[in-house]
């Protein structure tokens, strides 16, 4: 087995860690896998200084130009809320922004999230959510979706992404091709979304079409769309959704990133070994495995084994790794930025809290929402 194949396999994985410090076991398998990046969760984040130290140690064992990812959307998905301050949700910001013709609230949301994640050492936030906030998914999505209409989602997301970019933070639109009509949580099982291809193209896919040049990364979900040519295959392993629709029809040229492959939405459909191989075959660039070292190593070994078995897969894997390396080099040029002073950190916390108060005061009345 060549060193090139090993490097290629590892460089298509983004992985999670167990706690707030690197263990000896984690250092050992990180040295072997050399993943494309690290994703952290609330279990990993106690303070800015601790998080920055953890990221520095972990990414030192990753491939060059590595991702340092965190989920900060605002609202219910905000991994920094305990260590910094709670950020308002996309839905709350979008509703408040409806009264601001310049959409300055959404821009400010992106700027503050960018400043927050950078303060903790991250270079990527897995936001914005581009799903439509439809009644079908209200129980699952909550306040994560900015608006019910494609135009509302695009308006919020375009300004939000501009705010992130101003802080040199990479965003990731999700969850392609859309969970707005989903009634099941893909963390637990594979949602089956019954919209047909025409409806999805007209509504759910509009944000991806409109923002294709503004999105550095796009995350693909684990839902199935049986009324489309994708049939019952989860989108994250579907050539139809990843290559035919996202790459060819929409013309997206950024990094395509899987949702967590530990989710029930994919693992109840196929084992992790098949999931990573089929995701690569389908056109996926980076695959996210958020917690289990066992699953990370099984995925890595599966890519190696298939690369050894199949010359065609080996060629695809090596080519994908080279392509993604070029994209990472362009997007992730800087190391961990200089730490904020205590005073600067407190000032950032105050700005976030005041922004939250402003957004809360700017919410439309129940009567206005009904209009």
Question: How many angstroms separate the Cα of 360 from the Cα of each of 92, 349, 368?
Answer: 7, 17, 15
Strands (E), the chain: 13-16, 37-40, 67-70, 72-74, 77-78, 124-125, 172-176, 217-220, 255-258, 287-289
Q: Are 72 and 117 a contacting pair, CB within 8 Å?
A: yes
Q: CA 17 to CA 1: how far, in whole Å? A: 27
Task: Please tell me which residue in 78, 131, 204, 259 is annotated as part of the active site.
Answer: 259
Cα-flanking dihedrals φ and ψ of residue 74, to 5°?
Answer: 100, 160
Q: CA 241 to CA 161: how far, in whole Å? A: 23
Token output for 366: 């129940």
259 catalytic, yes or no?
yes
Q: Strands across the sheet with 67-70, in order?
A: 124-125, 67-70, 37-40, 13-16, 287-289
Task: Please tell me which residue in 187, 204, 285, 346 is annotated as part of the active site.
Answer: 187
Check the CA dihedral 300-257-290-177 and report its sign: negative
Q: List active site positions.
A: 187, 259
């Amino acid at each position: 087995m060549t060193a090139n194949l090993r490097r290629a396999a590892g460089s298509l994985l983004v992985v999670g860690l167990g706690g707030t410090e690197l263990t000896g076991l984690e250092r050992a398998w990180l040295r072997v896998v050399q993943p494309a990046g690290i994703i952290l969760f609330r279990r990993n984040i106690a303070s800015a200084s601790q998080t920055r130290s953890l990221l520095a140690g972990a990414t030192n064992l990753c491939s060059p130009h590595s991702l340092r990812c965190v989920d900060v959307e605002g609202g219910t998905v905000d991994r920094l809320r305990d260590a910094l301050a709670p950020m308002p949700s996309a839905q709350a910001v979008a509703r408040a922004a409806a009264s601001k013709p310049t959409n300055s609230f959404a821009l400010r949301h992106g700027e503050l999230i960018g400043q927050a994640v950078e303060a903790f050492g991250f270079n990527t936030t897995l936001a914005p959510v581009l799903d439509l906030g439809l009644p079908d998914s209200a129980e699952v999505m909550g306040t994560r979706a900015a608006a019910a209409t494609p135009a509302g989602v695009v308006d919020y997301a375009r300004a939000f992404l501009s705010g992130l970019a101003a802080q040199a933070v990479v965003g990731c639109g999700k969850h392609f091709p859309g969970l707005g009509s989903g009634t099941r949580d893909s963390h637990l099982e594979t949602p089956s979304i019954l919209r047909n291809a025409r409806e999805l193209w007209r509504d759910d896919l509009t944000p991806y079409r409109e923002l294709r040049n503004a999105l550095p990364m796009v995350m693909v979900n684990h839902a199935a769309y049986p009324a489309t040519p994708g049939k019952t295959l989860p989108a994250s392993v579907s050539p139809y959704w990843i290559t035919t629709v996202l790459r060819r029809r929409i013309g997206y040229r950024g990094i395509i990133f899987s949702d967590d492959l530990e989710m029930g939405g994919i693992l109840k459909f196929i084992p992790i070994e098949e999931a990573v191989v089929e995701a690569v075959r389908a056109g996926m660039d980076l695959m996210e495995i958020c917690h289990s070292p066992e699953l990370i190593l099984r995925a890595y070994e599966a890519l190696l084994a298939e690369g050894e078995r199949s010359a065609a897969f080996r060629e695809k894997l090596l080519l994908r790794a080279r392509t993604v390396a070029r994209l990472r080099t362009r997007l992730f040029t800087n190391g961990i930025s200089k730490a904020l002073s205590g005073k600067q950190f407190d000032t950032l916390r105050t700005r976030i809290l005041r922004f939250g108060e402003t957004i809360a005061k700017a919410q439309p009345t129940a009567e206005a929402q009904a209009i």
